[in-house]
Every structure is written in C-alpha cells, then in structure tokens.
C-alpha cells in the first residue's frame, strides 16, 4: 500500500521481498489502513517539515508498511495503524523528520528481525540508533521476567540519555497502546497498566509532558481499578451539571475584573482528572463532594509582570486563603513548570484554585521538553528546561556507571521519578531541586559525587546540622568536606536520591574487597554447615556454582555474599541441590543447628560489618546479625524492636553472631539522664563521665518547663556492658541527677 500522495510511486520504493517472520499473521492480504489517518499524518507533517524531509518520512512509511504486511493487532486492525498513530502523536509535538521516521519504524527490529545495519544503510545512523533504543532485548535470555523488564528499561533510559527523542517516541508508543488496551485479557491489562503507572507516568511528569502524564495516569487507573474508575466517572458526570452555574458566575466575574484592570487574558475552567480526584480522596481521606467542591481555573496572560498584576486583581476580587499561595515563576518546578498558584474563597464560600501563567509557560506546562526540545547542541543554546533535562539525563549515565545490575539501576531511577520536590539554595544562591524527603547528604551528591564521598558536615541556614537532616523549601545548604572522609554504609539508611544511593553502593563495593570476601566465605561456610556440607567444595561443584550464578570466581561470589547482594542460605541451598546426586561428597548426617559456629564480631571490622545505629550494641549484649543488600552484616541487639520487625519480614536474612574474646576498642552507647535544671549540673555530669573512663561524643538537651526538669542525652564510648553499668552507677550518685538509663531503640 502506498501513501496517497503524488510521489507514492517514487523509484526509492523498496523492492518487494519475502515477508519476514514476526508476530502471528492472520492474513497475507495487503493492509487496508484507512487513507484518512495517513492523510491526517501527512497534513500535520506538511505544516513544519520541508518537502525533502517529508519525502524521507514517506520512504520510512513504505518500508514499515512492507515489513508489517499482513500483520494485525489484537483488535483486528492492520498493524501499520499503530506506527502511524505513534507518528501522529510525535507530529503534534512537531518532532523532526528523523524522530517521525523512527516512530514509523519503531517495531521493525523487534517484530520483523530487520537488522540495524539495514536501517543505517536506508535511513541513516541517527534513525537507526533511535529505533534500536526503542527495541526490546528479546534475543537475550534472562533468568526472570523481572530481570528482562529491568534490562529493557535500562537500555531505553540510557538511549534516552544520549537522545531525548527516544523517550518521547516511547511515550507516544505507550500512549497509543494504553488507548487501545481494552482488547487485552484482564491480567495483561493490569500488568501493562501497573508498569505504565510505575515507570512511564513519572517519566512523563519528570519531562514536563503534562498532557501525556494526565492521560496515561487516567488510562492506567481505568485498567488497574476499573470499578472505582467507572464509579468516579459517573459521579463526576452527575456533578458537572450542578456545578455549571457556579463555574459560569466565577468565569464572568474574573473576566470582567481583569478587563477593568486592563489585562488581556484567557480564562477557562480546569477539571481535575479522575485519578487526581481518586488520589486526593485516598491520601487526604476526603469524600467525593469535598474534592469536587474545589473549583479550578486557569488564567493565561501575555507577560510575566501581568501574571503578578492579575494575581493582585484576583486577590481584590476574592479573599485569598492563608498559606495557599505558591510562586512557581520565581522558583520553577524541577520539570520546568512555571505558574502562580493561589486559592481564594469564591461565591457561596467555596474554595477556588487559580493558576496564572504566560502563553510560553502554558506551552511548557502542557508539552514540557517537547514544547521546544533540542538535542546535541551546546549548553549556551539550551533553554533552562532543556539544561535541567540534560542534567537529569546525564545523571542516568552516572548511575549506570556505578550500578551492578539492571534491577538495581531501575530501582535508583525510580527513586528520582517522584513528582514532589523541594527547592534549596547553595551559598551562592543557585537553586537545587531535590525529591521531597531528601537530606543534606543527597544535596552533597547532587553537586558532585566527590563532594558527597568526602562530606563530613553540613550547615543549613548557617547552623551545623547532621548529614541526615531532611531539607525544606528555601533552605541554604553549605557542605563541609574532608579529603580523608569516606562514605559510611549507614548513609544508605537516609539518602533519598538514586544518584546518592548508587554512588555510596559503588564505593562500598569497590573498597575493602578482601574484607567482604572473608566475611562472605565465613557466612557461606556457616550456611553450608547448617546443611551438613563441608566448606571445601569439590571442583566439579564449584564449576557448576559459578556457571549458574554468573560469578567469575568464588572470590566474587564470596564478595557478593559479604556485601549482602547474595543470601548465603540461598547459595547454600542451591549448592545442596547440585550435590544431591554426588553421594560420595555428602556427609551421612547434618550437624545439629546448635553445633554451627556463629560469626564472631570484634567491632573493629570495616564497612562489611556495622553496628546498627538504632540500638548501638556493645560487648556483653546478646546480638543478632542481619545481611543487608550492599551494606554487608549489620549487628543488632537481640531485643532491638526495629530488628524484631525486620526479622519477622525477612527471617532468611538473619544469622547467628557472637562477640569475640579480645576487643581492643571502645563502642558507642546512648544514655539518657533526667536532672534538676540547676547551675553547674552539666559540668558535674560531664566530669563524672570522664572520671568513669567514658568518652563523650555527643550531648543534647530537652527542657521540660512543667517539671523544671531537663533531659540530657549523651552518646558515650565504653568498653562493654560492665563498664557501662559502672558508669551509670557513678552518675546516679551525682547531686541533681534523678534518673539514668541506657537509651534503647
């Protein structure tokens, strides 16, 4: 089939060839796609492409049509209708000819076994690279569906990092698939909808593609929760008629007031999406009527100064609600979004939300990076939005270089795809956007990996704060570094961004490898002993283990166990399964669990063994060990409440540990004192701790005005439980001290 255009019989038409194997074919007849949709695509492209570019697009269409000849979609439509629809969505963003060609060809490698080299020869390397970035890795065998999906996402996101058009085409592809998802079986609909909500919706939001973001959200919602979607949809339609009079009254009043102020503006009502309504009801525990009682309007003006004039005019018309104003023009969102947001008390006492923006801001708000996208040009030619997008895409490459596997890479990227952000300042007033909940340490890594690795302290608003301090909008953050400082495994407990997490894990993986190997060897020996297997494995078994675990050597396998990447119990179980047929190497009976030696802890180990910060165990405490991914062995007290909760969830990650005999170091411990608020008491307490051979590393104070008491909190260093008991007894004798106790998690 040819395009209905004058040059459809151009000599550049590909010669007829045998149809390639692909998805199930139901007919060998030529496709019969409706001319209207093809014509519509050509009309859209003619608005901004040159005749030469349009000719190349037509050649790509003819090739795609030939490759998909006879192939049909689940709905029964000719398959070529899908690439055309994807290209139409891309044409709405006015993407260039190469992107449109890639949209038309995006399934030929995956479905029809067309080689990348053939695409390079026919359409050039850039088009071929785009198509390759969009193609799944179906020729590689993966151990699980999850691993395959993660590797596909990684390939797509890394291709996106070098050319943002990859993700724009992929989002257009996903949007059309979601629009036509109804023909799939329920289980597949839920899987695809869940994947869309988890990955593609946040990416669309991160790139500022709000139209796509909202539509994908609602489509995914309709397939994940069809009953809730239908119920809300009916309720919104029923409520729409009742709201019409109020909306009309507000519109007329706003237009008249702005006109009187000499402001030319477009004003229109803004309806919430169904998923937006559902999310607000669920998160804020509101009824449907409470959510629908808030009216939304958008005011589009011609300049930034008029945004603020319009704001003042509206505040004169209706009373503003305190604390409900946000200036996203002065400090734009991380995805480039700009607007003034305000909530006013409208007629009948109903809340009215207004978004005030310019035409340029409106285009960016709806289409994000696709509104004026740019690729492979110098930073001096980039808009602020493009620079932000470029910086985020580059961070994907940083994470890729530091990440061990595809699942971990995807985990880090998902962390950075949350829509809510906080905006903080460097001492030189540069704005840094971070995910909500980010800490000062995340800020350090957002500046540079080297800054994060050597971070020792932070000043927030000129006050020294712990590295774990959560940041808030408007904070001024200054990082203090030390070239001798190194990342601590405990940092993983409170960093929020994927970049920080991957950088810390990369450091922990690459330092103290020997220590990780030794710990892993000890842990595996313990797990093998539990199954009655000697730690010295036969050569044949070792070869099988390495072949099936993808580890290059036993040292690498031990290191993975030592940092918590692999579970010793699961590795031992796998080895036991391999050896079941080798009766000559298996003992006649396994030892009793009580005969298995626990792992010995000396407290002086490096990053592979840590004392849990929640309970700070000291020698003499009953202890247990938890294997945490990329943190190695974390030691808790046996009565630690957080540890008990974690143990109930993942019992396989816990092992027996014990203190060693010779412990030539001191251990941190927290104590709490309730004292009379009187002169000199702190000096007396500190002196007694010193005389009891204790070392103070931290002191904090909480006052209780009602009881005229003060609560002191110390972190002190002691040798063991006996030393701590002696110190506490001495503190209880200090005048003014009412109570002393060890602080527990």
Examine the domain organization and report whether 502 and 520 are in the same domain.
no
Strand partners of residue 314 = none
User: How many angstroms separate the CA atoms of 440 and 429, rounded?
Assistant: 16
- End position of a domain, from candidates 659, 675, 698: 659
Catalytic residue among 65, 88, 107, 111: 111
Q: Is 111 a catalytic residue?
A: yes
Judge contact between 148 and 174, C-beta under 8 A. Answer: no
Q: Which residue has the tokens 């918590």?
A: 564
The whole-model pTM stands at 0.51
User: How many angstroms separate the CA atoms of 406 and 151, rounded?
Assistant: 5
* The pLDDT of residue 418: 46
Structural domain count, the chain: 5
φ/ψ of residue 294, rounded to 5 = -95, 120
Full residue range of the structural domain in which residue 299 is found: 227-369
* The pLDDT of residue 380: 42
Q: Is 113 a catalytic residue?
A: no
Examine the domain organization and report whether 469 and 497 are in the same domain.
yes
Cα within 13 Å of Cα(81), Cβ side: 21
Residue 703 lies in a domain: yes
Contacts of 224 (CB under 8 A, 6+ apart): 190, 193, 194, 197
Examine the domain organization and report whether 65 and 211 are in the same domain.
yes
Q: How far is CA 374 from CA 162, 163, 613, in A?
A: 12, 9, 47
DSSP assignments along 156-213, one per residue? HHHHHHH-THHHHHHHHHHHHHHHTGGGS-HHHHHHHHHHIIIIIHHHHHHTT-HHHH
User: How many angstroms separate the CA atoms of 35 and 566, rounded?
Assistant: 56
C-beta pairs of 321-326 under 8 Å, 24+ apart in sequence:
321/345, 321/351
Judge contact between 716 and 696, C-beta under 8 A. Answer: yes
Judge contact between 646 and 628, C-beta under 8 A. Answer: no
Residue 389: count of CB within 10 angstroms of its CB: 23
- CA 245-251-255 angle, to 5 degrees, is 150
Examine the domain organization and report whether 614 and 722 are in the same domain.
no
φ/ψ of residue 550, rounded to 5 = 65, 10
* The pLDDT of residue 430: 78
Strands 654-659 and 599-601: parallel
User: How many angstroms separate the CA atoms of 272 and 410, rounded?
Assistant: 30
Residue 342 lies in a domain: yes
Examine the domain organization and report whether 470 and 615 are in the same domain.
no
User: How many angstroms separate the CA atoms of 162 and 156, rounded?
Assistant: 10
User: How many angstroms separate the CA atoms of 257 and 711, rounded?
Assistant: 58
Tokens of 658: 């014990």
Examine the domain organization and report whether 495 and 523 are in the same domain.
no
Judge contact between 267 and 260, C-beta under 8 A. Answer: no
- End position of a domain, from candidates 613, 643, 659: 659
Q: How far is CA 536 from CA 196, 530, 656, in A?
A: 48, 14, 21
Residue 576 lies in a domain: yes
Residue 578 lies in a domain: yes
Indicate the length of the chain as a whole number: 745
CATH number of the domain enclosing 498: 3.10.20.30
* The pLDDT of residue 30: 34
Residue of 295, 303, 305, 179 lying closest to 245 (CA atoms) = 295
User: How many angstroms separate the CA atoms of 115 and 124, rounded?
Assistant: 13
* The pLDDT of residue 35: 33
* The pLDDT of residue 578: 72
Examine the domain organization and report whether 231 and 318 are in the same domain.
yes
CATH number of the domain enclosing 245: 3.30.460.10
Residue 619 lies in a domain: yes
* The pLDDT of residue 194: 86
Residue 543 lies in a domain: yes
Examine the domain organization and report whether 44 and 184 are in the same domain.
yes
CATH number of the domain enclosing 93: 1.10.3210.10
Residue 635 lies in a domain: yes
Strands 695-704 and 599-601: unpaired
Tokens of 143: 């151990």
- End position of a domain, from candidates 324, 346, 369: 369
Q: Which residue has the tokens 């941190």?
A: 668
Examine the domain organization and report whether 501 and 588 are in the same domain.
no
Examine the domain organization and report whether 277 and 300 are in the same domain.
yes
**If the chain, 745 residues long, is cut into consecutive pieces of 10 residues, what is the mean pLDDT of each piece?**
36 40 38 51 85 89 86 84 90 86 86 80 87 60 48 57 76 90 87 84 77 88 91 82 78 90 86 83 80 80 92 91 86 78 84 89 70 42 53 56 51 50 78 81 89 89 86 85 81 81 76 72 79 78 76 79 73 75 41 54 66 89 82 84 86 82 84 86 89 87 65 90 93 90 82
Instruction: Specify the DSSP element, H or E, that contains 654.
Output: strand 654-659
Catalytic residue among 110, 398, 475, 515: 110
Examine the domain organization and report whether 468 and 553 are in the same domain.
no
Examine the domain organization and report whether 60 and 204 are in the same domain.
yes
CA-based torsion, 563, 565, 569, 575: positive or negative = negative
Residue 249 lies in a domain: yes
Beta-sheet strands, E only, within 62-117 = none
Strand partners of residue 537 = none
Residue of 104, 110, 131, 141 lying closest to 21 (CA atoms) = 110
CATH number of the domain enclosing 674: 3.30.70.260
Residue of 718, 714, 701, 707 lying closest to 743 (CA atoms) = 714
């Amino acid at each position: 089939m040819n395009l209905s255009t004058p040059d459809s019989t151009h000599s550049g038409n590909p010669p007829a060839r045998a149809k390639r194997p692909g998805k199930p074919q139901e007919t060998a007849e030529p496709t019969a796609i409706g001319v209207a949709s093809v014509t519509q695509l050509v009309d859209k492209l003619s608005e901004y492409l040159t005749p030469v570019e349009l000719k190349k697009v037509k050649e790509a269409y003819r090739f795609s049509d030939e490759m998909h000849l006879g192939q049909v979609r689940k709905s029964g439509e000719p398959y070529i209708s899908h690439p055309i629809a994807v290209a139409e969505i891309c044409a709405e963003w006015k993407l260039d000819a190469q992107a449109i060609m890639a949209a038309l060809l995006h399934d030929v490698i995956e479905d029809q076994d067309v080689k990348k080299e053939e695409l390079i020869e026919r359409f050039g390397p850039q088009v071929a690279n785009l198509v390759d970035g969009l193609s799944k890795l179906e020729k590689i065998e993966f151990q699980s569906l999850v691993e395959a999906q993660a590797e596909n996402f990684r390939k797509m996101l890394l291709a996106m990092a070098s050319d943002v058009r990859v993700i724009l085409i992929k989002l257009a592809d996903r949007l059309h698939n979601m629009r036509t998802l109804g023909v799939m079986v329920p289980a597949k609909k839920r899987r695809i909808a869940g994947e869309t909500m988890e990955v593609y919706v946040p990416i669309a939001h991160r790139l500022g593609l709000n139209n796509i973001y909202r539509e994908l959200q609602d489509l995914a919602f309709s397939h994940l929760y069809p009953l809730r979607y239908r119920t809300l949809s009916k309720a919104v339609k029923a409520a729409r008629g009742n709201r019409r009079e109020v909306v009309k009254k507000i519109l007329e009043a706003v237009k008249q007031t702005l006109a009187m102020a000499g402001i030319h503006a477009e004003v229109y009502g803004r309806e919430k999406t169904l998923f937006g309504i559902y999310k607000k009801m669920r998160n804020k525990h509101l009824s449907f009527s409470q959510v629908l009682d808030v009216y939304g309007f958008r005011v589009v003006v011609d300049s930034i100064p008029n945004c603020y004039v319009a704001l003042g005019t509206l505040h004169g018309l209706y009373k503003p609600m305190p604390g409900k104003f946000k200036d996203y023009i002065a400090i734009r969102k991380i995805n480039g979004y700009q607007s003034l947001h305000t909530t006013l008390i409208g007629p009948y006492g109903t809340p009215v939300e207004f978004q005030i923006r310019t035409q340029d801001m409106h285009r960016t708000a709806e289409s994000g990076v696709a509104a004026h996208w740019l690729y492979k040009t110098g930073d001096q030619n980039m808009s602020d939005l493009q620079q932000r997008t470029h910086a985020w895409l580059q961070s994907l490459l940083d994470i890729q270089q530091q990440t061990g596997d595809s699942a971990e890479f995807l985990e880090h990227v998902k962390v950075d795809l949350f829509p809510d952000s906080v905006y903080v300042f460097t001492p030189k007033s540069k704005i840094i956007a971070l995910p909500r909940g980010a800490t000062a340490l995340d800020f350090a890594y957002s500046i540079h990996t080297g800054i994060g690795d050597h971070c020792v302290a932070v000043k927030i608003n000129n006050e020294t704060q712990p590295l774990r301090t959560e940041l808030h909008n408007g904070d001024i953050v200054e990082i203090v570094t030390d070239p001798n400082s190194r990342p601590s495994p405990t940092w993983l407990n409170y960093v929020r961004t994927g970049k920080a997490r991957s950088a810390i894990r990369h450091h922990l993986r690459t330092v103290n490898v020997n220590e990780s190997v030794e710990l892993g060897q000890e842990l595996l020996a313990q797990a093998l002993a539990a199954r009655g297997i000697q730690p010295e494995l036969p050569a044949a078994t070792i070869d099988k283990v390495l072949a099936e675990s993808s580890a290059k050597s036993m040292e690498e396998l031990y290191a993975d166990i030592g940092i918590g990447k692999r579970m010793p119990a699961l590795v031992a179980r796998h080895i036991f399964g391999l050896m079941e047929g080798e009766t000559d190497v298996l003992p006649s009976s396994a030892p009793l669990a009580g005969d298995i030696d626990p792992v010995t802890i000396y407290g002086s180990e490096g990053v592979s063994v840590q004392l849990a910060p929640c309970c700070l165990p000291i020698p003499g405490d009953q202890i247990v060990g938890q294997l945490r991914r990329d943190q190695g062995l974390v030691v808790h007290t046996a009565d630690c409440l957080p540890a008990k909760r974690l143990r109930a969830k993942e019992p396989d990650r816990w092992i027996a540990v014990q203190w060693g005999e010779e412990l030539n170091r001191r251990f941190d411990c927290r104590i709490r004192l309730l004292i009379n608020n009187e002169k000199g008491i702190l000096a007396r307490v500190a002196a007694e701790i010193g005389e009891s051979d204790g070392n103070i590393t931290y002191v904090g104070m909480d006052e209780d005005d009602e009881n005229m008491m003060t609560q002191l909190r110390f972190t002190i260093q002691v040798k063991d439980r006996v030393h701590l008991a002696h110190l506490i007894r001495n503190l209880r004798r200090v005048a003014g001290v009412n109570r002393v106790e060890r602080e527990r998690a």
